[in-house]
Copies of this chain bind each other. A is one copy, B any other.
Amino acid sequence: MQPTLTTGAEGLEIRWADGTVGAFPYIWLRDTDPAGFHPKTGERTFDLTTVPLDVRPREARVTPEALLVTWEGQVEPSRFDLDWIKTHRPGQRRHDPADIAPVAWRAELGGAGVPRHEADGIATSDTALARWLADTKRYGLSIVTGLADTTEAGLAVARRVGHLRETNFGLTFEVVSKPDPNNLAYTSDALPLHTDLTNQELPPGYQFLHCLANEARGGGSTFCDGVAVARDLRARDPEAFEVLSTVTVPFRFHDRHTDIRSRKTVIALDTRGEVSEICFNAHLADILDLDPGIMTPFYRAYRLLMEMTRDPAYGIALRLGAGEMVVFDNRRVLHGREAFDPATGFRHLHGCYVDRGEWDSRIRVLAREQG
C-alpha cells in the first residue's frame, strides 16, 4: 500500500502502511536531497546557504517507490527512495553495525569465560575477524591464541583492525622490568587495577598485550569490567555515581621529555546516559585541585569506586602464556598485575593500542561486505 502524504507549513508527513510516521521539515529535505552528495566521495556538496531557511516546495507527491519534491525555482524534483527515507526519518538514529551493547561481567566470568580466538583465523578470514571484533567489543576483553614468538605477530593482529595509536611511550611498548623506569608498569611492582593514559585527552582505546615470556614467579594479569562496577555503583550509591560522572579531575604524566595533562570525569556517559568510559588511574591522578566543598564528597565516591574495583566479586585473573595475547578496551576494562620476582625468570609483554574509532570502522566495513 502506498504511504500517505500530508503537507504542512514547515514540513510534510508520511504515514506508512505499517503505522510508521515520519515528520520531514522542508529544510531537512532540501539539505538531504541525494543529488546534493558527491557521486564519488559520498560527501555533502549541497551548500545550505544557497537556499532560504524557510525553503518551500512547489509540489510534493509520493509514488509507490519514491517521494518527489519540486522546489520553488527548480524543474527537476528531489527524489527520495521511500525505504531510504523511512529509515532516515528525523528522530530515527542511523543503524550502526558497531553499536554492540556491552555485556557487563563480574568474577563469575572467570578466566575460562574470556572469549578466545585463534590468530590464524583472524589473519586469514574476514568472518573470523568480524566475530573476534564483535566478541571483544561485547566483553571489552578477549584472548588471541596461537601467536608466533615474534613481536611482529601481535602487531599483525592489531593491524588487521587499523593503524596503531602512537603515544609518548612510542608506537609499541615493551612491558619489562627496567632499571630506570619512567612509569610503574616498567617495574616489578604489583599494579592495582587501572586504565592507561588517563592523562591524555583521548586515552587509547583497545590495548594489545602479547605475552612473549612469563617465566617469573607471580606476574599474573588481573582485569575487571568498569561498566559492571559503574552500573553497580549507580544502583548502590547514586550520589557517588553523580559526583564521579560530573566532577572533572586533573590527570598528569610527566618525565624528562613530556608533560601531558588532561581534566576529565572518572566515569563518562554517552548521549543516552549510559556508561561509556572509565578513567581510573590513581598513579596519574594529579594533586586534586577541587574546591574544598566538593573535596570530601569526591574522595568518598572515588574511594568507594576504588574499593569496588578490588572487590573479588568483580575481578578475574589470567596467567598469560607465551603465544597468547590479551586484547581489551582500555577505556572500559581495568587491568592490573600481581607483583613478580624478576630473579625467578623473564616476563616480557609487547604492547600497542588501536583506537575505538578504527575498531568500529572495521566492524562497519566488514558488515558491509557480509551484507
Q: Are A180 and B40 also in contact (CB < 8 A) when A88-B289, A202-B201, A299-B25 are?
A: yes
Chain B residues positioned under 8 Å from A168 (CB to CB): 162-163, 358, 361
Residues of B within 8 A of A310 (CB): 49
State whether B49 touches A307 (Cβ < 8 A).
Answer: yes
Contact status B25-A93, CB under 8 Å: no
Which residues of the partner chain B approach A40 to less than 8 Å between Cβ atoms? Answer: 180-182
Q: Does A125 contact B (CB under 8 A)?
A: no
- Chain B residues with CB under 8 Å of A358's CB are 168, 260
Contact with B along A274-311 (1 / 0, CB 8 A): 00000000111111111110011001101100110010
Partner of A47, one of B200, B282, B292, B365: B282
Name the distance in Å between A20's Cβ and chain B's nearest Cβ.
14
Write the chain B residue with the least CB distance to A92.
B289
Whether A364 touches B259, Cβ cut-off 8 Å, given contacts A181-B40, A192-B47, A290-B90, is yes
Q: Which residues on the B side are within 8 Å of A262 (C-beta)?
A: 357
Chain B, residue nearest A286 (CB): B94
Does A81 have its Cβ within 8 Å of any Cβ on chain B?
A: no
B27 adjacent to A365 (CB under 8 Å): no
Chain B residues with CB under 8 A of A59: none
> Does residue A63 face the partner (Cβ distance < 8 Å to B)?
no
Residues of B within 8 A of A183 (CB): 41, 43
Identify the closest chain B residue to A183 (Cβ): B41
Q: Mark A184-219, 1 if CB is under 8 A from B, else 0.
A: 100000001000000011100000000000000000
Find the B residue at minimum CB distance from A28: B295
Q: Which of B28, B202, B287, B300 contacts A202 (CB 8 A)?
A: B202
Q: Is A65 an interface residue (CB 8 A)?
A: no
Q: For the complex formed, measure the closest distance between the CB of A123 and the CB atoms of chain B, giving whole angstroms.
A: 18
Number of interface residues of A (CB under 8 A): 85
Inter-subunit contact B306/A43 (CB<8 Å) = no
| Chain B residues whose C-beta falls within 8 Å of the C-beta of A286 in the assembled complex | 94
Residues of B with C-beta under 8 A to A25: 292, 295-296, 299
> Are B289 and A90 within 8 A (Cβ)?
yes
The answer to whether the Cβ of A263 comes within 8 Å of any Cβ in the partner chain is yes
Asked if A261 and B303 sit within 8 Å, CB to CB, the answer is no
Looking at the complex, which of A137-145, A248-256, A343-351 is the stretch in contact with chain B? Answer: A248-256
Contact with B along A217-252 (1 / 0, CB 8 A): 000000000000000000000000000000010100
**Is A11 close to B, CB under 8 A?**
yes
Question: B41 and A184: CB pair below 8 A?
Answer: yes
Which A residues lie at the B interface, using CB under 8 A? 10-11, 23-25, 27-28, 31-32, 38, 40-45, 47-49, 53, 88, 90-94, 96, 98, 162-166, 168, 180-184, 192, 200-202, 248, 250, 253-255, 257-263, 271, 282-292, 295-296, 299-300, 302-303, 306-307, 310, 355-358, 360-361, 364-365, 368
State the 5 A-B residue pairs at the shortest beta-carbon distance, nearest first: A43-B283, A259-B364, A23-B292, A202-B202, A91-B291
A-B contact pairs, 6 of them (CB 8 A): A28-B295, A41-B283, A92-B289, A164-B166, A258-B365, A259-B365
